[in-house]
Amino acid sequence: MSANTGSSLGDFLRSRRARLDPASLGYSGRRRTPGLRREEVAQRANISPTWYTWLEQGRGGAPSATVLNRLASALMLTESEREHLFMLALGRPPEVRYRPVEGINPRLQRLLDSLHACPAIIKSATWDIIAWNRAAAVVLTDYSTLPVGQRNILRFLFCDPAVRAKQHDWESVARFVVGAFRADVARAGLASEVSELVDELCTVSAEFAALWRHHEVHGYAEGESVKRLLHPELGHIELEHSAFSIDGRPDLGMIVYTPIDDSMAEKIKALVERV
């Protein structure tokens, strides 16, 4: 940890310590300066008071991710502040922390709904669909008709004949999806969380089991940029797909499918309005 980095880290730690209200956290006694004392933060973080003092002074070496998470909890940091703490101390953001989620905030839903001709979904790190727009419901799948636990992309692809029949090249799509899923799971540290799903799919789908055994890993940029579907009403569709991260929620991702020509966009809009 360089002197400049240490100084920035120390300034940040001191500022976050100073804003905490000792009384609300159960500490009493007169104080000459606002906030908690250094030894109180160290106690809350279960680290040495001397080492914490060194961190504020830009000494002591780079703390581990475990210690940084303890400090983030002790100082009651927000997710953005926690990420900033990691960037100052280690030069990288923290690993993704998985949080089960069943929905999104109204702001994100309004964003999805504004994409009238573009099917758009938001998925979790375990590839469960947690939000979608009307275009996704009419072009991809009407997720509202499915139980929450069944709204999973891999389950659709390997267990739903209707979804499989829509795919222009199911084998290529399946290979890419399994590789991208494996990468997402490893990145988020969710091997145990998805073990039941993986075991289930290996049991019900020999094709999934074979692909899973190959241990291929893919990123979104490595996949085919155009998704080709055979829709029962729209016929052959070509959609460019793009993946986006969600600000403040690195465990979530948004996928937007954009029609490659205006005529198909108008057809999708018309179908959305009619249904």
pLDDT digits (tens, 9 = 90+) for 86-136: 999 999 888 766 666 667 889 999 999 999 999 999 998 889 999 999 999
Q: Residue 221: its pLDDT value, please?
A: 63
Lowest mean pLDDT among 4-13, 126-135, 161-170: 4-13
Whether 146 and 70 map to the same domain: the answer is no
Give the count of domains, the chain: 2
- pLDDT confidence tier of residue 3, bands split at 50, 70 and 90: very low
Q: Is the pLDDT of residue 52 over 90?
A: yes
Q: Is the pLDDT of residue 81 over 60?
A: yes
Mean pLDDT, the chain, whole residue set: 88
Span 141-145, average pLDDT: 92
Question: Is 97 contained in some domain?
Answer: no
Q: Residue written as tokens 């290996």?
A: 202
Say if CB 9 and CB 55 are below 8 A apart. Answer: yes
Q: How far is residue 245 from each of residues 122, 128, 248, 255, measured CA to CA in Å?
A: 10, 15, 9, 9
Counting beta carbons within 10 angstroms of the beta carbon of residue 123, is it exposed (0 to 12), middle (13 to 18) or buried (19 or more)? buried
Q: Could you say which of 90, 117, 132 is where a domain stops? A: 90
Other C-beta atoms within 10 Å of 91: how many?
11
- pLDDT confidence tier of residue 190, bands split at 50, 70 and 90: confident
Which residues constitute the domain of residue 22?
3-90
pLDDT digits (tens, 9 = 90+) for 240-256: 989 898 877 777 899 99
Span 190-216, average pLDDT: 92
Strand ranges (E), 170-247: 226-231, 235-246
Q: Work out the widest C-alpha separation in the chain, in whole angstroms.
A: 75
* More confident site: 2 or 248: 248
Whether 146 and 259 map to the same domain: the answer is yes
Span 202-228, average pLDDT: 86
Q: Residue written as tokens 């002074």?
A: 57
Whether 62 and 141 map to the same domain: the answer is no
| Triad 85, 125, 95: Cα angle to 5° | 20
User: Strand pairing partners for 255?
Assistant: 121, 243
CATH number, residue 72: 1.10.260.40
Q: With b meaning 16 or more CB within 10 Å and e meaning fewer, what string describes 126-149?
A: bbbbbbbbbbbbbbbbebeeeeee
Other C-beta atoms within 10 Å of 178: how many?
25
Q: Could you say which of 56, 90, 124 is where a domain stops? A: 90
- d(C-alpha 78, C-alpha 80), whole Å: 5
Specify the pairing of strand 120-123 against strand 226-231: unpaired
Q: How far is residue 260 from each of residues 183, 228, 265, measured CA to CA in Å?
A: 28, 11, 8
